[in-house]
Structures are given as C-alpha cells and as structure tokens.
Amino acid sequence: MLGPVGQVEDGQVSRFDVAGVGAIAVYSVGGSYYATSDECTHGIASLSADGVLDGHVIECTWHGGRFDIRTGAFLNPPCTAPLKTYPVTVDKGMLLMTVDN
C-alpha cells in the first residue's frame, strides 16, 4: 500500500519509499495513477523532486531526458534505458502498487 489517493494531486508526481523496492514516483493524470522508479536512468536525479510532468511524460530537468510514465519507455537522449514501471490500483481511496517478484 502506498497511501491515500489525496497524496498525489492530479497532474503531479509524489515520492513514496517502498520497503524492498526503494524510491517510487507516483503520478496522477486525469484520474489515473502510474508508478515508476524514481531515479532517472541517465543519472541519479529524483524524478519526483527534479522532474516536470507534462501529460504522460516526465522530464528529468538535469539533462532533459524524457520518459512515458505509462510504459517507462525513454523518449530521447541522453537516456537509453527505460524506467521500471509498477501497476497501481485504487481500493477504498488507497493507492496500491503491485511489485513483480
């Protein structure tokens, strides 16, 4: 469980620390929720702290790398590796994240 849906406002990204996984960036876009690893694959920048969300794209402001938050796919250099993504569901007002083993 990540926390209440109110912790992530629409059009925003929030950081959650998940035991056994680490830092996760959780995004709210148009009533849907998405989760990715929080660290840019190009460097050590936190996407929740240093990223700019535009629709379904998060841009790392350190070097301009962009990712699709729905799939984790990198969209431009300098990034060459995708973000890890995690399915998010809502149950009774709580955000739940599924972690693959």
Q: What is the pLDDT of residue 101?
A: 55
Which CATH number belongs to the domain containing residue 93 in this structure?
A: 2.102.10.10
Torsion of the alpha carbons at 101, 89, 97 and 43, rounded to the nearest 10: 110
Supply the range of the domain harboring residue 14.
3-97
Number of domains in the chain: 1
User: In angstroms, rounded to a whole number, what is the distance separating the alpha carbons of residues 49 and 12?
Assistant: 11
* Reported pTM: 0.93
Q: What share of the chain is helix, strand, coil (3-state, %, to 5)?
A: 5, 45, 50
Backbone φ, ψ for residue 65 (5° rounding) = -65, 140
User: In angstroms, rounded to a whole number, what is the distance separating the alpha carbons of residues 62 and 11?
Assistant: 20
pLDDT digits (tens, 9 = 90+) for 50-98: 999 999 999 999 999 999 999 999 999 999 999 999 999 999 999 999 8
